[in-house]
Amino acid sequence: MFGVKKVLPLLSIAVFFNSCSLFSDKNSELKPVARVFDQYLYTEDLAMLVPPGTSAADSTQMVENFIDNWIKQQVILAQAEQNLTDEQKNFDLQVQNYRNSLLIYAFEKNLIDQKLDTSFTDDEIKSYYDSNTTSLKLNDYLYKLYYIKVDAGKQNNAKLLSLLKKGNAESIEELKSLCIGNAIDYYFGDESWINSADLSSKIPLSSDYKTSLANKGHVTVLSTNKIEYYIYTLNSHSPGEVPPLEVVTEEIKQRILNNRKLKLIEQMRTDLLNDALNKANAETF
């Protein structure tokens, strides 16, 4: 610790006697423990620093660290005061604008929390979907598929692949049972859509394979590092296409909420302005 060696004995003694309230002696509260130019740090500034129950050693360390940081800050502040012009140091306008922004944000958030309607109807979601297809277009491939991950060269791999290629309900049920004891991993997404980004966390997909998987009813075989992946595509959508409604329902809800927030805030601002004008609480000269 630099620059405060002379005050450490005083601090250490005080901390050892009472780590819950560092300096209970009122006379000691007026004693400085550090100085940088004409700025002083007093014992009373440290009184609430150490939580109750802190050990003497930890209390001393906390006080030393606090004083070190205070000195460093004051040294930098002193240099800033000396080197910046009065205009550069005038932050009154910035501080006021920042405070105003915080107040308005808190007020608007409180309004939204109290009055925002967060319910949705199916018709409302469908109507938004039909009216905003352009902005809902996909940036990624989207698939419904089955995949099986197996060790290459295993005895039952050919049967797994054969059942997957059949693709009918009976063969898929048999395939699911066979996967339990023979596959490293498997996924049957009859009802779930998965995009290529999420699928790539399970299967090492190149750009070519992403395109290949877009072929509906097609089986893709991918081999890497003595591992084989068998993938059967049930359905797909390519980048630039509009995804099914079920895929973007949550996104649509969030968009509708955001629009409601904007309208609620705008209506509040208009109402407040009109009220102020009507009551002659606002005017231009």
* Residue 8 pLDDT exceeds 80: no
* 143, 232: one domain: yes
pLDDT at 138: 96
pTM here? 0.69
* 145, 224: one domain: yes
Give the pLDDT band of residue 45 (cuts 50, 70, 90): confident
Residues 257-270 have a mean pLDDT of 97
CATH number for the domain that contains residue 198: 3.10.50.40
**Which residues span the domain enclosing 271?**
91-137+250-276
**Chain mean pLDDT for the chain:** 88
* 148, 231: one domain: yes
* Residue 73 pLDDT exceeds 90: yes
pLDDT at 12: 41
* 130, 255: one domain: yes
* Residue 16 pLDDT exceeds 80: no
Of the three residues 17, 48, 83, the one that is the final residue of a domain is 83
* Residue 10 pLDDT exceeds 50: no
pLDDT tens for each residue of 92-151: 999 999 999 999 999 999 999 999 999 999 999 999 999 999 999 999 999 999 999 999
* 144, 230: one domain: yes
pLDDT at 30: 67
Between residues 241 and 25, which one has the greater pLDDT? Answer: 241
Is residue 26 one of the residues assigned to a domain?
Answer: yes
pLDDT at 2: 53
- The total number of structural domains in the chain stands at 3
* 227, 254: one domain: no
* 97, 74: one domain: no
* Residue 6 pLDDT exceeds 50: no
Q: List the beta bridge partners of residue 195.
A: 142
